[in-house]
Amino acid sequence: MNAGIRLLSVNMRSLVVLVLAAGVGLGLAGLTAVAAGAPVGANEVVARRAVRPLAKPGEVAGRIESVHTIESAEAWAKMAARPASQTVARTEVVKFLLDRETGRTLWFVDSERYDMHYAFAAEKLSTLRRPVESHAVFNVREYRREDRRFELGSIVHYLDGDLWTLEMIGGDTLAGEKVLALYQQLRGALWIGDRLRYRPLSGLHEELTKAVRDKLAVVSTEEVFAGVKYQPLTEGKACGYLRIVRGALEPGSVRPDQILVLEQLPEEIPVSAAVISQPLQAPLGHIAVLCAGRKTPNMGLRGALDYADVARLEGKLVELSVGPQEFGLREVSLSEAETSWKQRRPSEALIPKLDRKPVKLSDLKELSLYDADFAGAKAAQLAQVGRLGKEVRTPGGFVIPMAHYLKHFRATGAERCVDGLLMDEAMLVDVAGRTARLAEARALIETKEVDAELLASVHAKIQATAPTAKWILRSSTNAEDLAGFSGAGLYRSVVVKAGATPEQLAKAIREVWASVWLAGAFEERSWYRVDHRRVAMAILAQPFVDGALANGVAITANPFTEGRPGFLVNVQTRGGSVTGAHGDEVPEQVLIYTYSEDVESEVLARSSRTGGKAILSEKQIAELAKVLGKIHDEMRPRWGGTVNAVDVEFLLAGEDAHVVIVQARPYTVNYGAGRRLE
């Protein structure tokens, strides 16, 4: 402490006594603010935490609190954290701060204790001469402005691929030549030396470092992804019989008491206890979304069939634990498993809302969220999105209400067939018998003529709206896209060619109606105790968005941590699969942060179809963020309960690649320990 600071401390002693006597412990930085005439609240986080003098680098309780260099793997281990909030599992992280005002002093910090750069700066580097500002001001200045005091980032060790990277938040605007100087200084301060590589996390980073790219040892997102072996998708624990599925999965063979180890990703998956897939999954792919909605533990594990524990425990009753950094398998007793199964299944019946009266073909623009009981949740929710103004586009279309399905269901005899199935107790255990009865019901629906008056109305509506376009007839039941019951993929949608005849339309309508009684839909509804007799199908008829440049899925939440709000987006080029269910196809995966006015994004993976090139430009990311924000603000409060996000499906269409929203449904991100905002 120099003489000037010592004198100020002595002169302020009486003020300290007065403050403490009043029961308010401001701390040194808070007192500095008072002495300077600043409002007491202007530095409230610093005032609460910066009460200790700056310590020399050293060990604290077996950990190393801070050092200027890391000279061994042992020292690294005493500083590294394995945070649950990482976007890639099996990672170790050490945060660093470079202080420009003290001759470019590097500080590597205990990243378990200091999980934010700000926490260390406020507690350890705030001085009377230059106090660290409030958290909000710090975040703007130190990541985005040229007059920053600190250069901030993390050293990340990807354990699966044994990669060491320098990473900065996606919105950091540090200029390329400064990134290069920082990188070179870090290499000299770490025992790994030239093994350190720079990983640009966003298009902004790639642009800023373009001029110095040849001087940086860069690791691409593709290289990081290629090294990943373990991928947690839905965290949690579940018990079941471990079943290895070699080749394609036969959906009818799946039981709720099975933990599936899949050699291939299926297009659909019935209710199971848990899922381990040998291929990694698209985070918002169909299987991942289904498992998330069901709260079914789900993970990807490259080489899963060759893992010793998997082979050893095949056929046995086990507990699978899927965590943010690791997973575990252990053998369990039947009593443990039965307790787990009882807790997983809903205890109360779900009674779908149903209005049998409306029969008019209603344009989507005439409907709202509150028409779901006759238009189905899919149509009603998309109609509500369509009310958000010109910035949020949908394909439009019209709805065939549920009353027409119910009339056809009765007239064909399918209703009697289903009633017989539901009253036959033998069918509770006879899977083959149930499947046969359901096939009989579908056949009755698909062979009976559609009401002639309805068919004429549908044909006329299409001719008046878009006669030269293909159309898609989409399922819209009262037992899908609900808060607490997603039902994603249970029912069928059918595309009809341009200029389709009434007979061709009738065939498509019957196929959509019949899908209410697909075996997979019936079994999932049964598990969730949905009242089958109340389930009905409306049809959302829409002009097909032909020639879309890309298709995508987004959830309006950051599934990796509640502490950094954002949107997770998966997008794939035309002809590709955004679900990631085909071979090793990988969609582009972008995390768009929403906690500041400036759009900040992080690229988690590039599309396997583009050779490393971006599908979404920075401008498109900003436009998409605006649309998703509007949908989130409009829809999430209307669902209430535990729903904290919207699951959105979209297309990029037209020469300007504008966003077209084709679906919006409730979604709940279940944040595990370490991911929650405590």
Beta-sheet pairing, 398-400 with 471-477: unpaired
Give the residue from 282, 310, 344 where a domain finishes: 344
Residues 196 and 241 in one domain: no
Residues 384 and 504 in one domain: yes
* Nearby residues of 502 by Cβ (< 8 Å), 6 or more positions away: 455, 456, 459
- Give CA separation, 69 vs 109, 164, 476, in Å: 10, 16, 60
Residues 218 and 264 in one domain: no
Give the residue from 344, 370, 397 where a domain finishes: 344
* pLDDT at residue 368 greater than cutoff 70: yes
Residues 183 and 217 in one domain: yes
Residues 269 and 123 in one domain: no
Q: Is 608 part of any domain?
A: yes
* pLDDT at residue 581 greater than cutoff 80: no
Tokens standing for residue 83: 């945070």
- Give CA separation, 428 vs 422, 424, 434, 437, 578, in Å: 9, 8, 8, 12, 37
The rounded mean pLDDT for the chain is: 89
DSSP-based three-state secondary structure for 543: strand
DSSP secondary structure string for all residues of 43-65: GHHHHHH--SPPPPSEEETTEEE
Q: Is 587 part of any domain?
A: yes
Residues 248 and 220 in one domain: no
* pLDDT at residue 53 greater than cutoff 50: no
CATH of the domain at 336: 3.50.30.10
Residue 374, domain extent? 362-543
> SS3 letters for 464-514?
HHCCCCCEEEEEEECCCCECCECCCCCCCCEEECCCCCHHHHHHHHHHHHH
Residues 391 and 523 in one domain: yes
* Mean of pLDDT values over 150-172: 97
Residues 592 and 536 in one domain: no
Q: Is 215 part of any domain?
A: yes
Residues 217 and 259 in one domain: no
Torsion 155-158-164-167 (CA) sign: negative
Residues 137 and 185 in one domain: yes
Which residue from 160, 181, 185, 188 is spatially nearest to 86, judged by alpha carbons?
160
- Give CA separation, 371 vs 164, 235, 362, 377, 642, in Å: 54, 35, 11, 8, 22
Q: What stretches of 305-387 show up as alpha helix (H) in DSSP?
A: 308-313, 334-344, 372-375, 377-385
The answer to whether the beta carbons of residues 283 and 559 sit under 8 Å apart is yes
Q: Is 676 part of any domain?
A: no
For the ranges 40-54, 218-232, 452-466, the lowest mean pLDDT is seen at 40-54
Q: Is 200 part of any domain?
A: yes
- The helix (H) or strand (E) run that includes residue 141 is helix 135-144
Give the residue from 194, 227, 260 where a domain finishes: 227
For the stretch 224-267, pLDDT in tens is 999 999 999 999 999 999 999 999 999 889 999 999 999 999 98
Residues 406 and 455 in one domain: yes
CATH of the domain at 616: 3.30.470.20
d(CA 204, CA 170): 7
Question: Looking at the 3D structure of the chain, how many domains does it have?
Answer: 5
Q: Is 184 part of any domain?
A: yes
Reported confidence tier of residue 678, pLDDT bands at 50, 70, 90: low
For the stretch 259-304, pLDDT in tens is 999 999 998 889 999 999 999 998 998 899 999 989 999 999 999 9
Residues 318 and 389 in one domain: no
Residue 677: what pLDDT? Answer: 73
CATH of the domain at 500: 3.30.1490.20
Q: Is 260 part of any domain?
A: yes
Torsion 5-11-15-21 (CA) sign: positive
d(CA 444, CA 429): 24
Q: Is 658 part of any domain?
A: yes
